[in-house]
Amino acid sequence: MRKIEHLGIAVKNLKSSNELFKKLLCTEHYKEENVEGEGVATSFFMIGETKLELLEATRPDSPIAKYIEKKSEGIHHIAFEVEDIHAEMERLKSEGFEILNEIPKEGADNKLVVFLHPRSTNGVLVELCQEKRS
């Protein structure tokens, strides 16, 4: 794991949360992006080497919709930047961690991503992110 790539925060309304975090961080979000496959609209704030990813559900079956329904808004996941997502998946599987998607999927911000089930990571939803290589 090279660094914390982003903290994912589940929000009910991206527009109002963008305003709140702009006031909090004294900086604008640098991008907004929908990820159809996850049923989410995201916006990203850069803080030093790490980002905040705000996530609003765009479909009722989105994991974010279910999370907010069950728990309300808040920190949803932590994402780590990895050099080689396939090698990390193999390593983590051999260490007994539970990989949720066997094939890395399209993430926001030009990434390939994989998630680990929180029951194998002390109750924390973990995401692995690898920069997509052209």
Residues that bind ligand LZKTLF4L (CB under 6 A): 8, 35, 38, 40, 53, 55, 63-64, 66-67, 70, 76-77, 79, 100, 107-108, 111, 113, 115, 117-118, 123, 125, 127
Q: How far is the CB of 76 from ligand LZKTLF4L (least distance, A)?
A: 5
Closest to ligand LZKTLF4L by CB, 26 or 103: 103
State the minimum distance, in angstroms, from the CB of residue 39 to ligand LZKTLF4L. Answer: 8
Q: Which does 123 bind (CB under 5 to 8 A by kind): ligand LZKTLF4L, Co ion, none?
A: ligand LZKTLF4L
Reduce the secondary structure of the chain to three states and give it as a string.
CCEEEEEEEECCCHHHHHHHHHHHHCCCCCEEEEEHHHCEEEEEEEECCEEEEEEEECCCCCHHHHHHHHHCCEEEEEEEECCCHHHHHHHHHHCCCCECCCCCEECCCCEEEEEECHHHCCCCCEEEEEECCC
